[in-house]
Amino acid sequence: MSDEISAMSRYMVECENLVKIYKTEDIEVVALQGLDLTIERGELMAIIGNSGSGKSTLLNMLGALDKPSAGKLFVDGKDLLAYNEKQIYEYKRNIVGFVWQNNARNLIPYLSAVENVEVPMILTNSYYRRKRASEILDMVGLSHRKRSKLNQLSGGEQQRVAIAISLANTPKLLLADEPTGAVDSKTASMILDIFRELSRNLGLTIIIVTHDMQISRKVNRVVSIRDGRTSSEFIRRSYKEEIAKVEGLASLSVDEEKEEDSHEEFVVVDRVGRLQVPKDYMDKYKMKAGSRLRFEYKGDDLVLTPITEESEEKEAEE
């Protein structure tokens, strides 16, 4: 990756060999261990991983809340690591929006819904603020609740206000940290539908960080992070489009179960040829650190075969 990337690049986010090390007097923790990732403009995608995997660290870097210890990070074609304090402020104000799981980080309790959305626009004139805030609340389905105080809103409605606040300054990139973690499944589905509409209608790039694999029903790509590296990706097979094309249909209704099954998992190989075997496969074949795999070519396919004690004994007998 060159140090200068065109602002017209197809990618909104480009991470190259990102490393993050947290140090104290007594301990050193490596949160990211050479992570590579690209995210296209207008993409709605999710990043999943267990606690400590590095997903929240990555989100903080994309939001300019933290800096990597090494590597390269470009957002909207700009080198985020080269930004000075003023540029970081402008980036947070104009390029990136945040939605947090904890509503206390998004909302001011004594203000109404529309007043909360107006806060990020405080430097603009009052007429524009109110007009823009009302339009955004309409986008998230809350035009009828704009005068309500937070204690009059349900948890799902409060989270929709939080999404509206993140859109106030028309960002290009929206970062959502566990946005459905504190709501029930029906409300979570509604929130994810809102994200889909925003991505489709506004061309907004949306990154959702979560531990919930069920979110894959609503996004086209899910990136799994494990031990500070990109482990695997789940890509939607475009089930609806494929069936519609075959049958000549303009549209097709597909139930949620089939949508979930329409994702295919891919292992990601890094720049030096390393890959992570998905945990489900490791568990199935009882693999652990130090386990060996045999690489074989079979026609155009590369086949990886776990070497177990049983297979070694069988080979020895033969």
Nearest-5° Cα angle at 150, 219 to 102: 45
Alpha carbon 108 to chain centroid, angstroms? 26
Half-sphere exposure of 38 (CA within 13 A, CB side): 8
CA 298 – CA 228 distance, rounded (Å): 32
pLDDT digits (tens, 9 = 90+) for 300-313: 888 878 876 665 55
pLDDT at 215: 72
Q: Using CA atoms, how far apart are residues 305 and 315, in angstroms rounded to an integer? A: 13
Copy the structure tokens of residue 39.
Answer: 């995210």
Average of pLDDT values for 206-224?
A: 82
Strand 263-267 versus strand 70-75 pairing type: unpaired
What is the rounded average pLDDT of the residues 95-114?
Answer: 86
Q: Is the pLDDT of residue 315 over 90?
A: no
Mean pLDDT calculated for residue range 145-166: 92
d(CA 19, CA 69): 5
188-208: average pLDDT: 91
At 130, the amino acid letter reads R
pLDDT beyond 50 at 240: no
What is the average pLDDT score of the chain? 81
Confidence of residue 5 (pLDDT cuts 50, 70, 90): very low
Region of residue 311 (phi > 0: left; psi between -120 and 50: alpha; otherwise: beta): alpha
Residue 28, SS3 per DSSP: strand
- Residues 80, 161: Cα–Cα separation, whole Å: 29
Residue 318: what pLDDT?
A: 54
Q: What's residue 261's pLDDT?
A: 53
Domain ranges of the chain: 11-95+171-276, 279-318
- Burial category of 82 from C-beta neighbours within 10 Å (exposed 0-12, middle 13-18, buried 19 and up): exposed
Say if CB 173 and CB 199 are below 8 A apart. no
Q: Of 153-167, 226-240, 256-270, which gets the smallest average pLDDT?
A: 256-270
**C-alpha–C-alpha distance, residues 47 and 215, integer Å:** 10
* Per-residue pLDDT, 2: 46
Give the Cα separation of 209 and 55 in Å (integer).
Answer: 7
Give pLDDT, residue 113. 94
* Residue 214 CA, distance from chain mean position: 13
Confidence of residue 247 (pLDDT cuts 50, 70, 90): very low
Check whether 111 has a pLDDT greater than 80: yes
- 171's enclosing H/E stretch is none
Q: What is the DSSP letter of 268?
A: P
Residue 48 pLDDT class (50, 70, 90 cuts): confident
CA-closest candidate to residue 213, choices 50, 82, 73: 50
Percent of the chain whose predicted confidence (pLDDT) is above 70: 83
Pick the CATH number of 11-95+171-276 from 3.40.50.300, 3.40.220.10, 1.10.10.60, 3.90.45.10: 3.40.50.300
Distance CA 265, CA 261 (A): 11
Residue 58's φ and ψ, nearest 5 degrees, are -60, -45
What distances in angstroms separate CA 208 from CA 44, 65, 199, 279, one per listed residue? 8, 17, 12, 21
**pLDDT for position 13:** 95
**pLDDT (0 to 100) of residue 255:** 47
- Asked which of 40-44, 157-161, 263-267 is least confident by mean pLDDT, the reply is 263-267
The two three-digit tokens of residue 22, written as one number: 């947290």
Mean pLDDT in residue range 239-257: 44
